[in-house]
Amino acid sequence: MSYYTTDAEQKEKLLKWWKEYGWATILGVVLAVVIVVGWQVYRRHQLHQAQQASLVYATMMSSSYAHDLSSAKSAANALSTQYSGTSYADMAHLWLAAQAANAKHYQQALSELKQVSEHGHMKALRQIAVLREASIQLQLKQPSLALKALDTVYDKGFIARVNEYKGDAYWQMNQPEKARAHYQQAVAQYQKAGVPAPAVAMKLAGVPNITPHHLNTTGSNA
């Protein structure tokens, strides 16, 4: 058995290999180059978008602090439409929601908040949007809708506030036992996080401790 091949045999094998795999190899190399270049272009575009969005966001905030709400709203609208793929757009929606709520345009505020809670780019911002939705629903005396919003927890770092608002909702629904349970959880969670929460403690203290004996007595008097 010969371990050597002639030049003609090597050429024949090379031509055979090229016929079977040559174009596939070229296509693979070209595709790899396209993917790498495309990814680099995409990353540069994303970086450019983020940089531009940060400038528009700075304009929005500086205009807001200067009480130039017209300019601030223009910047916020630009962020929400032209830079919707960035977290700056989420913060613009939160700002627009706050302005709408201050003007008592609650449905508009809820619509802005939904954009963030359902499509936001950061868990923390989505959770903030949920909490603000619940706050508005509580203000509108719609505790069941507040509870529905609070069912979704995106960021457990806000769990104490979630339980506080759940307590508020159950208090509005005249369910003091559930309100007390959530207030107790909220107080414990705030304490664990090292956050003073005197307002929640006051809410908890204001909930009557209804015992089975009290319920039976109330029932017999009725």
The mean pLDDT value of the chain amounts to: 84
Which two three-digit tokens encode residue 165? 């608002």
Sorted by where each begins, the domain ranges of the chain are 24-112, 122-205
Q: How far is CA 12 from the centre of its chain?
A: 62
Q: What's the pLDDT tens digit per position in 13-34?
A: 666 766 666 666 666 665 565 5
Q: Please report, for residues 147, 150, 166, 186, 209, the alpha-carbon distance to residue 161 in angstroms, rounded to integers and kept in the order given.
A: 13, 10, 8, 7, 22
pLDDT attached to residue 219: 37
pLDDT attached to residue 215: 37
CATH class of 122-205: mainly alpha
Which has the higher per-residue pLDDT, 40 or 71? Answer: 71
Q: What's the pLDDT tens digit per position in 77-90?
A: 999 999 988 999 99
Is residue 150 a contact partner of residue 162, using CB atoms and an 8 Å limit?
yes
Q: What is the pTM of this model?
A: 0.73
Distance CA 173, CA 144 (A): 8
In the block, which residue shows the tokens 């949007």?
129
